[in-house]
Amino acid sequence: MTTIGYLIDGLVRMHERARGRRLLLEMDARLLKDIGLSQAVAEAEAAKPWWRG
């Protein structure tokens, strides 16, 4: 893969990570419990900046 390919791949992963964190905030307590997360953990994860892994 080229350097530009790695850069694009990294940007796509960061975008998907940010999207997933936003989706956590939309889940109700039952859905969070199904995936093994508490509301507090979901909120802490969603509060992370988009560039953090």
pLDDT digits (tens, 9 = 90+) for 15-26: 999 999 999 999
Average pLDDT score over residue span 1-7: 93
Residue 36 burial (CB count, 10 A): 7
51 inside domain = no
pLDDT of residue 4: 96
Residue 25 lies in a domain: yes
Would residue 23 count as lying in a domain?
Answer: yes
pLDDT in tens, 17-51: 999 999 999 999 999 999 999 999 999 999 998 88
Is 52 part of any domain? no
How many domains does the chain fold into?
A: 1
For residue 35, the enclosing domain spans 3-46
Supply φ then ψ for residue 51, to 5 degrees. -85, -10
